[in-house]
A and B are shown apart, each in its own frame.
Chain A
């Protein structure tokens, strides 16, 4: 619950050490839920979009009371399927942000799903100020797309990418999923091959993970298919790590690749463990060592004043430090221990001396002066490393 106490705590803490330059806005609407998705989203409720965007603006205004002095450098519109929003409503939301916060040449990303946008809509997005798109391609094979329950085809995916470039976007991400049921290395290679000829600046790639309750998880349990085992999963991941840099996409985070200078600034703020505001149903904010999460239920979100329904999770110091370390270690270049030490006022090197030396012995991490980063081997076993820093 957002209380007077919370506000007092935030105002004191913010003056000290918090860096807050990012805003995330969530859109829990989809045309159709994908078979592997366990996130909260509503199918075919886009008619609520207008009412929802009013609620978003209400929350933006409420939060700006506390954070109007912060300079916002990244904005991310995620979902769900935010590309279902009309350019007009989107423009009003961005305008509202501009009126209530200090924006400084922000990176503004929207997630776009092929099959929900045409060229003119993309063009509109560009015109209202969006400067980065993240396209939920997932695969360039029709057989894989239908297995995943996506609404688009290979050609629609390619079309969306080229439309974005034609509309003026020069910062384009695509999401790809690998280790799909019965996927062969050849199939994976085909999807990566398509990338070669497309104007793609950034790739986020994940192995398929099925949570209980999703249709694909149920199908898996009924032996409708099998997932690739750990060896194949690892092999595919290594293949991707090996292939994408050859296409000019550098591996800069466990799951992310980018052309130099096209790293996602918004996501880097998460991995650098900076604060951020989350706006919209189910969205989480990180503010001065605490997390505040909005109700996921859209009707509750629409009806109640947003500040008074946030769930609060206050993190103790060493939990924050552990999170900062494992988020930071996701970046290939790792973390600067001295920076973290001064941020938290704790000698991190000393506190984790034993942990770090054990990890070095196991060849999972590399240290160089005050830099700590995952080794190639540690990249595949990152959870074993992350776990070691938990209090």
Chain B
């Protein structure tokens, strides 16, 4: 198809999690025959297995949709997918920067949720044209008019602009595509200008090397061009360019306004950083596009191999994951209890869990993840300021003047029936209410400043459970604030296990110490000797439990026909121990290191 910038539309879909974004994207591909119906797999754009299992979008994906509009002309609609989870809001902003417009998908039964707001504000920051889409109108409790009312009241949207659809049943899909053509502005024709292309994602392919996902803003890029990364200065010769159909399909060039990929024999993903601007060496642009702020790690934890010998394998595996995950940071660290491992930084807890699961699943490693921590600012008595992302590195109490912890500015949207119990939860988590407003007569927005440390554990789950799933939550990074924080140590068999230490608020030390020792008692299996489990703050023991010594473990009757079955039981027993870490003489299961997360208030 010949290039015509007027026939191109670039858009994203923004939605609260579960409002049906992925299903809607699938429908677009189906209705336009981008992917023949018979090869449609549910949620085609969520290509990672994990994404399909968890029903969430982690990595950005892009697709080119060919749509014949009412005027009889064929248009190229480039969809750039965005993740729906709060952990990945950084990635949302990346995809929005590559677009001129966005669909704002809202569930016809649920109405506006916290991420709807957060994403809408992001889109407005990028000056995008918003098309409100009311999805799931097939639901029996759908109330599109009420939802449109909310959009009008809260976001000031013209009610005439809302498009109704049911992605599940496939109604209203072409109306949306038509609205994209009608309302979202085409990219400007800047083909003649020096090349400027924004890298919005990259992927490492073992055969092709780094595959750059980009949006061309000005000029064009073709095979054999020498491209230059404007920030890092690296130069490469382009081998292949192409578009996403949604599978990568080579084309002769990418021109201003188009979205596609570039292969240039790049072996190191750091040479093509997300947010950088690509230009061409023979006619370089003067100024780079506005990039992104660097993805900031919010949550840290240690990853250790169960068996020391696997350290090298773990290192390779994390490096490989990092190739496709710019937000993942890591550096080597050592624990007295766990040996050599890595301190890793993540966008949030979900990101952490996903990385951990991928390491186990895709690389077949058995790893221990230590309790997640945020970055504390420790102001020492000598005036030095140290950043501590690992409780092990907390200076001695005598050297500490005070400690500051990171806060987030959070938004919670919920039916007013649950305001009382949600406020109680936020209070328990040391939140400060900064504002409260009514969206409608029955829906409330609470604005809380919350310590990040209090929400990386189970805050979201608790919020969902006490509001019966009706409350939604979003946050952005806030400031540091001083707090009375202490290090909670755990001793197994009278030895401090550094990997079990956590930094917690003083007021909850006794409670958490007690609950943690109780939980550990449940998790650590009985062994050949009695194991005392103690929690301590400084030199003071604040809780103690004991895992009693194993008394009897013997298979009664074993005769000829049972030998295989009994051997398999023994093998299973042995296998179970292999998944445990030897700390001194104690065998500790993986989940013990995450036990602190399982303590419910």
Contacts and interface: CB of A to CB of B under 8 A. Distances in A.
Q: Do A and B bind each other?
A: yes
Given A270-B559, A286-B563, A387 B570 contact: yes
Interface string B536-579: 00000000000000111111111111011001001101100100
Given A284-B564, A390-B571, 4 more contacts: A24-B561, A270-B560, A276-B560, A381-B553
12 contacts: A233-B551, A254-B554, A254-B558, A269-B560, A278-B561, A283-B561, A284-B564, A326-B570, A380-B552, A381-B528, A387-B577, A390-B567
Given A24-B561, A270-B560, A390-B574, A230 B554 contact: no
Contacts of B571: 390
A336 interface: no
A382 B554 CA distance: 5
A364 to B, nearest CB: 8
A209 B558 CA distance: 13
A381 B526 CA distance: 12
Which of B552, B557, B561, B571 is packed against the most chain A CB atoms within 10 Å? B552
B570 A380 contact: no
Interface in B566-595: 567, 570-571, 573-574, 577
A323 B563 contact: yes
A125 interface: no
Contacts of A383: 553-555, 570, 573
A321 to B, nearest CB: 12
Given A255-B556, A386-B570, A234 B563 contact: no
Given A230-B551, A381-B528, A207 B556 contact: yes
Interface of B: 526, 528, 550-561, 563-564, 567, 570-571, 573-574, 577
A63 interface: no
Interface in A176-234: 204-207, 209, 230-231, 233-234
Interface string A288-324: 0001010000000000000000000100000100110
B574 A379 contact: no
A313 B564 contact: yes
Nearest to B571: A390
A160 to B, nearest CB: 21
Interface string A317-347: 0010011001100100000000000000000
A380 B553 contact: yes
Given A322-B567, A386-B570, A233 B552 contact: yes
B558 to A, nearest CB: 6
The residue among B555, B559, B573 with the most chain A CB atoms within 10 A of its own CB is: B559
Scoring A255, A319, A326, A384 by chain B CB atoms within 10 A of each residue's CB, the highest score goes to A384
- Top 10 A-B pairs ranked by shortest CB distance? A206-B556, A234-B552, A382-B554, A234-B551, A284-B561, A383-B553, A270-B560, A380-B552, A387-B574, A230-B551
A276 B560 CA distance: 8
A269 B564 CA distance: 16
A362 interface: yes
A379 B554 contact: yes
A53 to B, nearest CB: 20
B540 to A, nearest CB: 32
Majority-rule SS of B interface residues: loop
Given A362-B528, A386-B570, A390-B574, A381 B554 contact: yes
A240 to B, nearest CB: 11
Nearest to A269: B560
Contacts of B560: 22, 24, 269-270, 276, 278, 284, 286
B197 to A, nearest CB: 57
Contacts of A379: 554
Contacts of A319: 567
A381 B550 contact: yes
B570 A390 contact: yes
Contact of A323 (B528, B550, B567): B567
Nearest to B527: A384
B287 to A, nearest CB: 66
A326 B564 CA distance: 12
A344 to B, nearest CB: 16
Interface residues of A, number: 43
Tell which of A269, A381, A383, A390 has the most Cβ of chain B within 10 Å.
Answer: A383
Interface of A: 22, 24, 26, 204-207, 209, 230-231, 233-234, 237, 254-255, 267, 269-270, 276, 278, 282-284, 286, 291, 293, 313, 319, 322-323, 326-327, 330, 362, 379-384, 386-387, 390
A384 B558 contact: no
B558 A327 contact: yes
Nearest to B569: A383
Contacts of A282: 561
A326 B567 CA distance: 9
Contacts of B567: 319, 322-323, 326, 390
Nearest to B550: A381
B580 to A, nearest CB: 13
B528 to A, nearest CB: 6
Given A383-B573, A384-B528, A390-B570, A230 B563 contact: no
A196 to B, nearest CB: 23
A148 B26 CA distance: 58
Contacts of A362: 528
B435 to A, nearest CB: 49
Contact of A230 (B552, B564, B570): B552
Nearest to B561: A284
Contacts of B574: 387, 390
Nearest to A274: B560
Contacts of A278: 560-561
Given A230-B551, A383-B570, A386-B570, A327 B563 contact: yes
Q: In the complex, which of the residues B554, B561, B567 has the most CB atoms of chain A within 10 Å of its own CB atom?
A: B554
Nearest to A313: B564
A237 B553 CA distance: 12
Contacts of A255: 556-558
Contacts of A254: 554-556, 558
Nearest to B560: A270
Contacts of A233: 551-552
Contacts of B559: 267, 270
A387 B555 CA distance: 12
A283 B558 CA distance: 14
A230 B556 CA distance: 14
A301 B551 CA distance: 43
B18 to A, nearest CB: 34
A112 B316 CA distance: 63
Contacts of A380: 551-554
B600 to A, nearest CB: 24
Nearest to B565: A284
A237 B552 CA distance: 9
B552 to A, nearest CB: 4
A387 B556 CA distance: 15
Contacts of B554: 254, 379-383
Contact of A382 (B528, B553, B557, B561): B553
A206 B573 CA distance: 20
Contacts of B553: 380-384
Contacts of B526: 230
A206 B557 contact: yes
A67 to B, nearest CB: 15
A265 B119 CA distance: 78
Contacts of A24: 560-561
B136 to A, nearest CB: 39
Given A270-B560, A319-B567, A390-B574, A382 B550 contact: no
Contacts of B551: 230-231, 233-234, 380
A209 B574 CA distance: 20
Contact of A330 (B528, B550, B558, B570): B558
